[in-house]
Amino acid sequence: MKRALLFLSVCTLIYTSKAKSQTYNSFYGDIVNSVSASNIIADLTTFENLGIKSNGTTAITNAQNWIVSRYQSLGYTDIIEQPFTYSGNTTNNIIITKTGSVYPNTFLIIDAHYDTLNGPGTNDNGSGTVLLLEMARLLKNVDTEYSIKFIHFSGEEAGLIGSNYYVNNTVIPDNLDISLVFNIDQVGGVNGLINDTVVCEHDMSNPTENNAESLIKTNILATCIGLYSNLNTELSHAYGSDYVPFENAGKIITGLYEKNETPYSHTINDVLANMDPNYLYQVTKGSLGAALEFAVGITTLSTEEVTPIEKKTLKSIPTLQKE
Ligand SMILES: [Zn+2]
């Protein structure tokens, strides 16, 4: 049975090599297994201690400088701080680019906002911020076919101002070739609850031409979460975060959001003690597996050494549900 399965799997891989069958990839799995729960908690603690990162504060500037220094210490050199001004204050998007070896001019964008409202925002969106940092650490020395941009947006809480600025001043004028925008916003879970499910968000709004591809990518995301974490997935619609300006510009988007929604977002109580860092650890593992799938991580092993058989049973994906 195992032999037959292996043969079938190899045939399937050959047959669908262009269509990307999402089976467990042990090369990706080994990278995912290096996600560090203690790194995540250390970064969340630093983020929390930076304070309330709202427009015009020293805290948001300190957060910006901290994020930049973290990428520098990881060895990234292509780091752009993109200033923009609203309500009389200047703040910055932070854009880190890792160049792909086959399609250097096509970009997987993985983004999270780092500005916060009324509180330290450890969940909203320290969780997405440190998830990106941990992914970037583990992807640094992995060759990928597609280029990756890690983008930390500012001005999200004031109405997606940073992401709108980036789309209008970089994406559209540069005609940036984006394979996918993968947005991560508020994936910290709720302390005391069973946090075992993450919501995978796809595009159901106008314009509609990009909706079908968003659903395809979001199903791949959900499959990868099932393969590389212990979480269940649910599909829902994308709304109210930094993927929206990209969506409006016709780009393909997907996103993650916690299933148990914190009651503390945008309050002083959005702190580590009220979230579930182990949930964020699992979301990070699943996200990293998905990022490797989307950017196409290139194994350093010969193909014979890579076992294509999936190690875990795929979690079923429940039917679409609306808000
Ligand atoms: Zn948010």
User: pLDDT tens-digit profile of 54-70?
Assistant: 999 999 999 999 999 99
- How far, in Å, from the CA of 74 to the mean position of ligand 1? 25
Neighbours of ion ligand 1 (CB under 5 A): 124-125, 185
- How far, in Å, from the CA of 30 to the mean position of ligand 1? 30
d(CA 245, CA 153): 12
Cα separations in angstroms, 1 against 10, 128, 307: 14, 42, 16
pLDDT above 50 (res 322): no
Does this model's pTM top 0.95? My answer is no
Strands 177-184 and 146-153: unpaired
Q: What is the pLDDT of residue 321?
A: 31
Question: What is the Cα Rg of the chain in Å?
Answer: 19
CATH of domain 24-305: 3.40.630.10
Indicate the pLDDT class of residue 299, thresholds 50, 70 and 90: confident
- How far, in Å, from the CA of 138 to the mean position of ligand 1? 24
Other C-beta atoms lying within 10 Å of the C-beta of residue 191: 17
Mean pLDDT of 239-243: 97
Indicate the pLDDT class of residue 315, thresholds 50, 70 and 90: very low
- How far, in Å, from the CA of 314 to the mean position of ligand 1? 29
Closest CA to 249 of 296, 207, 298: 207
- How far, in Å, from the CA of 317 to the mean position of ligand 1? 25
- How far, in Å, from the CA of 186 to the mean position of ligand 1? 6
- How far, in Å, from the CA of 257 to the mean position of ligand 1? 9
Q: How crowded is the C-beta side of 113, counted as CA atoms within 13 Å?
A: 31
d(CA 245, CA 163): 6
Closest CA to 124 of 74, 68, 53, 66: 53
Indicate the pLDDT class of residue 115, thresholds 50, 70 and 90: very high
- How far, in Å, from the CA of 180 to the mean position of ligand 1? 19
- How far, in Å, from the CA of 310 to the mean position of ligand 1? 34
In the chain, where are the structural domains located? 24-305
- How far, in Å, from the CA of 26 to the mean position of ligand 1? 33
User: pLDDT tens-digit profile of 22-53?
Assistant: 899 999 999 999 999 999 999 999 999 999 99
- How far, in Å, from the CA of 240 to the mean position of ligand 1? 8
Mean pLDDT for the chain? 90
d(CA 155, CA 159): 7
Backbone angles phi, psi at 54, to 5 degrees: -100, 165
3-state DSSP assignment of residue 277: helix
Question: What letter would DSSP give residue 144?
Answer: B
More confident residue, 180 or 3: 180
- How far, in Å, from the CA of 307 to the mean position of ligand 1? 38
Mean pLDDT of 130-144: 98
Q: What is the pLDDT of residue 22?
A: 82
User: pLDDT tens-digit profile of 264-284?
Assistant: 999 999 999 999 999 999 999
